[in-house]
Amino acid sequence: MPMTRPKIVRETRRGIPETEPPGSRKLKPHQWFSTMEKELFEVRLRSSVPFDVYISSAAEKKVRDHAERYAAGRLEVLGFLLGEVCRWKGKMYTVVRDAATTELRSSPSNVRFAPNAYPKLFHQLDGSGFDYIIVGWYHSHPGHTCFMSRTDVETQRASFREPYHVALVIDPVTREVRTFRLTGEGCEETSFAIYAAEPRKSADSPRRRKLRLKPVVAH
Ligand SMILES: [Zn+2]
């Protein structure tokens, strides 16, 4: 995959900053949360324990719009989650600031990036003006509910094996969203909150590292 000086990476090995997560007044549950999920969200919000994942309202909307655009044909969508990894009081958490995708080969039961689509994706990412890292991926299960299939777990294990790597699964038909991460056996669900995003300047992040990606496929 030819590319020039990409600004994002799929993993980070050092320099996880001690940063306070978005304040509780900025947080809200996902609009598709069930009553029980909202209650769990409120309990977590009142505790002093950070959520595992914070997703900007802009990134959340991008993912949801993408999934809904393809929902009529019951087609799956796929993309990357971009952001950063932080630490607060000994706990690591992931911030998803943006999402990016490219041409897809999609069906009702699986999806992958189109051949030769990566250069276009990198161009889009470089144009974002930020040096985000890839903190995970998203894909949709139109009408199948949200879970990690065997193929999904294999993808997670091959390309998103770090504890901060997020797998977001969205069902635009049943209107559900869940996030997962890799464990020893498979994947476990993680907590997440939506935060009201503030505009950032492109000079905010000094990161500039090497990009390595393996094929990503979802089922
Ligand atoms: Zn899947």
Q: What is the pLDDT of residues 160-216, one digit of tens each?
A: 999 999 999 999 999 999 999 999 889 999 999 999 986 555 444 444 444 556 667
For the cut 80, the answer to whether the pLDDT of residue 94 exceeds it is: yes
Q: Which CATH code for domain 24-218?
A: 3.40.140.10
DSSP codes of every residue in 77-119: -EEEEEEEEEEETTEEEEEEEEEE---EEE-SS-EEEPTT-HH
Distance 219 CA to ligand 1 centre (A): 4
Distance 205 CA to ligand 1 centre (A): 32
Distance 139 CA to ligand 1 centre (A): 7
Distance 130 CA to ligand 1 centre (A): 28
Distance 89 CA to ligand 1 centre (A): 33
Distance 172 CA to ligand 1 centre (A): 13
> Which residues does 181 contact at the CB level (< 8 Å), separation at least 6?
52, 156, 163, 164, 165, 166, 167, 187, 188, 190
Residue 37 has what pLDDT? 96
Distance 148 CA to ligand 1 centre (A): 5
Distance 188 CA to ligand 1 centre (A): 14
